[in-house]
Structure 1
Amino acid sequence: MPHILTQLREQNGYTQEELAEAIGVSRQHIAKVERGEADLKLAQASQCAKLFDISVDNLSSGEMPAKSTLAKKVEEKAEATTSTEERDPTPQLSVDPERVQKFKEVLLYILGKVGAKPNVGKTVLYKLLYFSDFDFYEKFEEQLIGATYKKIARGPAPVEFAELVGQMKEEDELQEIRGKYYDKEQIKFIPLRKPNLRLLKAHEVGMIDDVLQRLSDKTATDISEYSHKDVPWKVHEMGEVIDYESVFYRDSEFSVRDEDDEL
């Protein structure tokens, strides 16, 4: 029988790499745990339990709960996909073809500006993209990239990122390197070409620059904890796609709207 972590991970749609990123370990360590060759530390087990909505005791004992919230979600998802005429299907990648190139240019722009900073690995990059997208939507009520962000343990994560980066690596537009930042595994991206700024409007670049100025010096832990205080992350369940409209319920700590914007 598969390891309980394998069952939970696959039921919730996580790859080993995504789960590793969510709890701050290497993919190789997750693989060893699932093969029974290693164990999770208590803090890591607690993060997994929270992510998959089960108890640490269930995770430690290897016993799936009889009827966890996760199981209910899986059943509801399965029921939803069998009735496509009555309701919308499970959300798919939402960046339409016209926006794919823009996503690439925004990513290359961010990497060109702050990607060389030692703290800017994939986790920090996820949050810089998230705040650029959601701050822009709150301020201008239109989408910058319009990527799909999922709530995971370390904060919002863009669903389309892995596929997009895969394309960009094949096209020699960026390079992925792995290393460590202090004692943490880190994935960094090196841009291999300059962004095409003709595809970005001045107010779009301005919003990105504002986000980079405010947040690009934060560590992965700090920016993740910061994102957990933002209303769009707080009001969604683990694994859910974050609704852009929730940005309009932000408090003063996160809101980027001016009083004039509301007149």
Structure 2
Amino acid sequence: MRFNEEKYINLILYILFRCSNKPNLGKTVLCTVMYFIDFNYYERYNRFLTKETYIKSKRGIKPKHFRKITEDLISKKQLFMRKEPYYNRTIHKYYPTVIPTQKFSPDELMVINSCIERLTDSNASTITKYAWQDKPLSKAGMNDEIDYEDVFLRANE
């Protein structure tokens, strides 16, 4: 399976539609939530949701297609980004300008909603620390792709 751009776009818009009112939901939190959605879905169903490539970086998790996709959505006026103060930092907040078309199966929605409910109240520091403890991320080398197969190491913790 190749990267599923349509599902990826729908996932971004769905998360933002549900959570854009949360003051902590900047780029770091959004990208980390997307990582957990993709990897938890793969762990549970042994199938890819978006098949996004996630890279381990010094700041946490960097989705390969995120920048291009969000820039495209902004240029199409389906999304806008604004830098906003959040305590002593500035975060990149994204706001959907369209209602997402919900093209998710019940299984997909179960994982997506579970991750949204569990993780989107975290700030960037907290969610990044949490993610660093996740086996796939901790096993990956710096600036390397995070291997989906490593989700199966979680059970051995």
TM-score of the two chains, using structure 1 as the length reference: 0.58
State the match for 1:154 in structure 2. Answer: 59
Aligned residues: 156
Q: Distance in 2 between matches of 1:148 and 1:120?
A: 21
User: How far apart are the structure 1 equivalents of 2:142 and 2:20?
Assistant: 28
Structure 2 unaligned spans of 5+: none
Match of 2:113 in 1: 209
| CA distance in structure 2 between the partners assigned to 1:155 and 1:230 by the alignment | 11
In structure 1, which of residues 218, 230, 234 is the aligned counterpart of residue 138 of structure 2? 234
Q: 2:151 aligns with which of 231, 236, 247?
A: 247
Match of residue 184, structure 1, among 89, 94, 97: 89
3-state SS in 2 of match to 1:196: coil
CA contact (8 A) 1:119 1:217 kept: yes
User: For the residues of structure 1 that align with 2:120 and 2:75, how far apart are their CA atoms?
Assistant: 27
Deviation at 1:145, TM superposition (A): 0.9
- SS of match in other structure, 1:250: helix
Matches within 5 A, 1:23-38: none
Q: Secondary structure at the match of 1:132?
A: helix
User: Against the structure 1 CA distance between its residues 248 and 121, is the aligned structure 2 distance closer, same or farther, given a 3 Å change threshold?
Assistant: same
Question: What's 2:45 paired with?
Answer: 140
Structure with the bigger percentage of strand? 2
Gaps of 5+ in 1: 1-93, 254-263
How far, CA to CA, are the matches of 2:20 and 2:113 in structure 1? 13
Which amino acid in 2 is paired with 1:190?
A: Y
Between the aligned partners of 1:251 and 1:154, the Cα distance in structure 2 is 26
Aligned with 1:124 (options 25, 29, 32):
29
State the Cα distance separating 1:251 from its structure 2 match.
4.1
Tell me, in whole angstroms, the C-alpha distance in 1 between the residues paired with 2:65 and 2:100.
19
Distance 1:111 1:224 in 2: 19
- The answer on 1:105 being equivalent to 2:10 is yes
**Rounded Cα–Cα distance in structure 2 between residues aligned with 1:227 and 1:252:** 17
Report Cα offsets for 1:29-59 as digits up to 9, x if no partner: xxxxxxxxxxxxxxxxxxxxxxxxxxxxxxx
TM-score by length of 2: 0.95
Supply the distance in 1 between the matched residues of 2:57 and 2:123 (Cα, whole angstroms). Answer: 17
Distance 1:106 1:201 in 2: 12
Distance verdict in 2 for CA 1:226–1:171, change over 3 Å: same
Partner Cα distance (1:152, 1:132) in 2: 19
1:211 Cα deviation from its structure 2 partner = 0.3
Runs of 4+ in 1 over 6 A off after TM superposition: none
| C-alpha distance in 2 between matches for 1:251 and 1:203 | 21
Distance 1:234-1:173 versus aligned 2 partners, 3 A rule: same
How far 1:156 sits from its partner (Å)? 1.8
Identical counterparts, % of pairs: 33
SS class of match (1:213): helix
